Amino acid sequence: MSTDSVLSLNLASEINAAFSEASATAAAATLNARQAVARALECGRLLNRQKDALPHGTWQDWLAANCPAISAPTARRYMKLAKHAPDTVLEDAAGLRQAYMATGVLPDSPRQRREPDTNTPTVNYVRGLDQFRRWFHQRIEEEPLSKWSPQARRLLRNELAWFKKLHDDLAA
């Protein structure tokens, strides 16, 4: 089935233009970093709008047919960047990679990761814990802990044993 026949909105030319500009600007990132990030955000917003306008399950085919220069992973990164980053957060981003890392679209690169300074608090390692905390609070809102099955409680307790030990070591 052709996606053109079911589309009322086709932003392919705008998306391709935004993507081309973002790619060209990123190549000269030292001089044009803010503009590259702005173009990627624009492309991500356009991609998000286009995807929302498509029937379910047709997005990747549409992307491949209408925006062949944009790989699916790049489209996902641009779309996540547009969803997760208010423009003000990225004022100091020195290129797309920093914008991705600042918004959590890409994890910190292992070669850029430094050994943590044990005397300085850091938030680099708490993102996963925060995601777990949000999951747990949502889960107990749906079903209080007292109503969990013994097996579910035992599994969670086993998974958190390392965290309890860490907590106890920090408290000592």
- Longest pairwise C-alpha distance within the chain: 67
Q: Is 61 within the bounds of a domain?
A: yes
Q: Is 47 within the bounds of a domain?
A: yes
| Report field, pTM of the whole predicted structure over 0.85 | no
Q: Is 110 within the bounds of a domain?
A: no
Instruction: Give yes or no: residues 75 and 17 share one domain.
Output: yes
Domain that holds residue 163: 127-171
Q: Is 88 within the bounds of a domain?
A: yes
Q: How confident is the model at residue 99 (pLDDT cuts 50, 70, 90)?
A: confident
By mean pLDDT, which of 5-14, 101-110, 144-153, 163-172 is the weakest?
101-110
Q: What beta strand segments (E) does 68-131 contain?
A: none
Nearest to 44 by CA among 14, 80, 73, 8: 80
**In this structure, are residues 15 and 50 in contact, taking their beta carbons and an 8 Å threshold?**
yes
Instruction: Give yes or no: residues 98 and 165 share one domain.
Output: no
Instruction: Give yes or no: residues 148 and 94 share one domain.
Output: no
Q: Is 79 within the bounds of a domain?
A: yes
- At 33-86, the pLDDT tens digits run 778 888 888 999 999 999 999 999 999 999 999 999 999 999 999 998 888 876
Task: Note the pLDDT of residue 70.
Answer: 92
Distances (CA, A) of 138 to 36, 42, 83, 101, 144: 37, 33, 22, 26, 10
